[in-house]
Chains A and B, each alone.
Chain A
C-alpha cells in the first residue's frame, strides 16, 4: 500500500503490531483452552507452547524472534516459577561460533533458593499487562539477558476462572521494525515519530529523533498532530 497520509501510516503501524498480537492472542486462546481441560503441568504446557510458537518462529520472513508463555508464580502444580520460551533462528543470543543459530528453547533457572533468583513479575513486560489486563508493548529496550539486542516485547495476559495464569508474548528486533515501518512513518510527514506509551521513539522519519530517545508525554501537546494508533502507540507529527 502506498503511504500518503497519516491515516495510511496508522494503518501500516496497526497492521504490523496487530499481526504480532493476533499470533500471541491465538496462542493465548489455546493455552487457556488447555488449562480449562487439564491440570496445568510443566511438561504439558511446554509441549503445547512449543507446538504453538515454533511454526510461527520458523516461518520465512517472520518478524518475531522469540515467543512463549510465562507462568504466574504458583500456577503450575509442579513448578512455582516457569518460562516456556523459544528463540527463533534469527535470535543470536548466546550463540558462539560461526554457525547460524538454531531454533531453540530458552533454558531457565527457576530455583527460588538460587542466589541469582529474581522475580520476573517486577519487569515491565509482565507488570503492565498484569495490572491493566491489556496487551502491552515494552521497549524499545536493550535486552541484555535474552535477545542480546535492541528489542520490542509484545505481551498480553492469559486467564483461567477470572485469575491471571501468566503472560503470552513475542519479541521483535527494533532493526526489523524500523525497516518495516520507516516508509509508513515517512509517509505521515517529514517530522513524524512513532512513540510507545512512555513516549519512547520506536521509529521516526526525522533522523534527529533517534530510536530510544524520549518525547515525554507532558510535551505531546506541543506537536501539531497527536495521532493515536492501536496497541498503545502514538504518532507525533510536526508540519
Chain B
C-alpha cells in the first residue's frame, strides 16, 4: 500500500514531516567512522534540501541517537555543530527542543562551503554514479509505465517552481517516481540514498530561475520519451540533465574559489 508523504511517519515523530520520501532515509542508521560528522551531514542535507523545513522540531537527542544507531553523546555533538552553523536552535522548557532555523542565506552559505570542500573529482564522480542510477531508472520506466502512471508523473512533473526549495523537492519527487516506475526496489533504494547524500549539491543550480526552467524542459523531454516508450532517449535525456547540472556545479565551484 503506497501511502502519500503526509502519512509516512511510521518511524518518525509527528514533528518530522518530510515532504518527499527521501525523508524516510534521513534518519536511517549510519555506518563507519566519524559518526558525529555523518549525523551532522545528514541533517544539514535534509535542512538545505527542505526535507526538514524552517521551524521544524527535531527528535530528542536520545530518539535521534536510537534512530541513527549512534551514541547519545554523538547525536549531541552533531547538534552542537549544527547550532554553531546556525542551522539549529535549541530552546529549553516545556515546549523546548531543537528546531530548524534554515534561512535562505544560511543554507546558501552552508552549501557553498560544501561545494568548496569537495574536490572536482568527487563531485564529478557523484554525478557519474547518480547518472548511472537515474538513467537506468528512466530507461526501464520507458518500457514499464502505463498511461495511468504517466498521467500521475505529468501531474507532479510539469510545474515550474518560483522557489528553489520547492524546485529541488519537486526534482527529487520526480526522480523518485521515475525510479519507482522502473519496478526495481533496489534502484528505488539507491535513488533515495543518493537523494539524501547528494541532491542538495546535484540540484544546486535550481537556485537560478533560468535553470529551474531548463530542468522543467528536461523533465518534459524525459516524459515525452517515457510516453513514446523510447528507453534510449529517456536514459540519454536523464544522463544529459545530470551532466549539465554537474558542469554548472563545477563552474560555480571555480567561481567560489576565485572569490575566496
Contacts and interface: CB of A to CB of B under 8 A. Distances in A.
Interface of A: 66, 81, 83, 85, 87, 93-97, 104-111, 114-120, 122-125, 138, 140-151, 153, 155, 169, 171, 198-200, 210-214
B238 interface: no
14 contacts: A96-B11, A96-B27, A106-B7, A125-B2, A141-B180, A141-B183, A142-B184, A144-B2, A144-B24, A145-B3, A145-B7, A153-B2, A199-B146, A214-B143
B144 interface: yes
Interface in B47-75: 53, 67, 69
Contacts of A149: 185
A92 to B, nearest CB: 11
What interface size band does chain B fall in? 35 or more
A149 B14 CA distance: 23
A110 B7 contact: yes
Nearest to B146: A198
Interface stretch (B15-23, B82-90, B93-101, B198-206): B15-23
A141 B118 CA distance: 37
A66 B10 CA distance: 13
Contacts of A107: 9-10, 12, 14
Given A109-B6, A114-B6, 13 more contacts: A93-B11, A94-B12, A108-B9, A122-B152, A125-B2, A144-B189, A145-B7, A146-B7, A150-B183, A150-B185, A155-B1, A210-B183, A213-B144
Contacts of B34: none
Contacts of A171: 1
A144 B188 contact: yes
Nearest to A81: B6
A212 B1 contact: no
Contacts of B18: 116
A142 B188 contact: yes
Contacts of A81: 6
A198 B11 CA distance: 33
A108 B14 CA distance: 8
A93 B9 CA distance: 11
B40 to A, nearest CB: 19
A110 B21 CA distance: 16
A102 to B, nearest CB: 12
A146 B10 CA distance: 8
A146 B11 contact: no
Contact of A120 (B3, B144, B180): B3
Contacts of B69: 96-97
A150 B183 CA distance: 8
- The residue in B1, B17, B148, B192 that gathers the most chain A C-beta atoms within 10 A of its C-beta is B1
Nearest to A83: B7
A198 B184 CA distance: 18
B103 interface: no
B7 A97 contact: no
